[in-house]
Homo-oligomer: A and B are copies of this chain.
Amino acid sequence: MLTRMPLITLTTDFGYKDPFVGMMKGAIFNINPSALIVDITHDINPYNIREAAIAVDVSHSFFPPTTVHVVVVDPGVGSNRRPILVVTDQHYFVGPDNGVFSLIYTSNSRTLDVRHIISEHYFLPQKGSTFHGRDIFAPVAAWLTKGIESAKFGDIITDYVTLPFPSVSMPTKTTHEGEVIYIDRFGNAITNIKSSEVDALYSINPEAKLRVLIKGKRVEIKNYYSQVSDKELYALINSSGYLELFVYRGNAAGEFNIKTGDTVGVILNV
């Protein structure tokens, strides 16, 4: 087994104003003062499980093997929804069983164990209502970085919650249809259409051109943002490997009224 990195990432909807994230870090350092903690984001929209699922999906692979990824977007905290530990061949994931790891389940990990965390002696004693981020998830992550085996936290379960995520369809042999799944700070509209799906269309006819269809517009695919200088809408394959709509030094979502859930097509223009 690999030596464990004492590296823990945090993805929450706690924001940057309240002291909740600080409390979680205190709980981690109480158990493992050698821990390295990286904030992925604490600005997930409150209760937005899908947004957190995307954040952890696109970011986790850039971390070293055995990193522990903690996700706390947890509207059901305190109910009988289970705390879980997900173990892939590369990483650990700790959080609530509410679907927030759905995209990890469908990634191509060679192994996948999901465990129901029940070993209370690893938890913080709780007062008042539950704050599992601080009292369960942070301590379990810290103990994992100390080398505690995942089996110690609870048994394997198979009925974990999976949220449906929009999939890409092929209405014709030369068309892929997906949707906008995330708008970033720059107003770029990121779709669920992968570079491999775009490449598959190119391979039908390398001479032909691809066009992206969104809200009645036909949009060209470029290689990078500053390849254009006008303020029109363009598309590219972004740095996470997904089709993305952008305006150079502008705000595509704002200027072209693009929203999460909008349909996006890619069509081979033979």
A residues whose Cβ falls under 8 Å from a Cβ of B: 5, 7, 9, 11, 13-23, 25-27, 29-30, 33, 36-43, 46-47, 55, 58-60, 62-64, 67, 75-79, 81, 126-131, 134-135, 184-186, 195, 223-227, 236-242, 248-249
Q: Which of B78, B127, B195, B226 contacts A227 (CB 8 A)?
A: B78
A-B contact pairs, 9 of them (CB 8 A): A5-B29, A7-B29, A17-B41, A22-B62, A37-B38, A77-B226, A78-B223, A127-B237, A135-B239
Q: Kindly provide the distance from the CB of A60 to the nearest chain B CB, expressed in whole angstroms.
A: 8
CB distance from A53 to the nearest CB of B (A): 12
Q: Is the CB of A23 within 8 A of B127?
A: no
Which residue of the partner chain, among B13, B26, B60, B79, contacts A226 with CB atoms under 8 Å? B79
Contacts A42-B16, A62-B23; A128 near B242 (Cβ below 8 A): yes
Query: Judging by beta carbons under 8 Å apart, are A36 and B33 in contact?
Result: yes
Beta-carbon contact of A236 and B76 below 8 Å: no
Whether A195 lies near B30 (C-beta < 8 A) is no
Given the known A-B contacts A224-B79, A236-B128, are A185 and B14 also in contact in the complex, defined by CB atoms under 8 Å? yes
**Contact yes or no, A130 B78, CB < 8 A:** no
A36 near B40: Cβ-Cβ < 8 Å: no
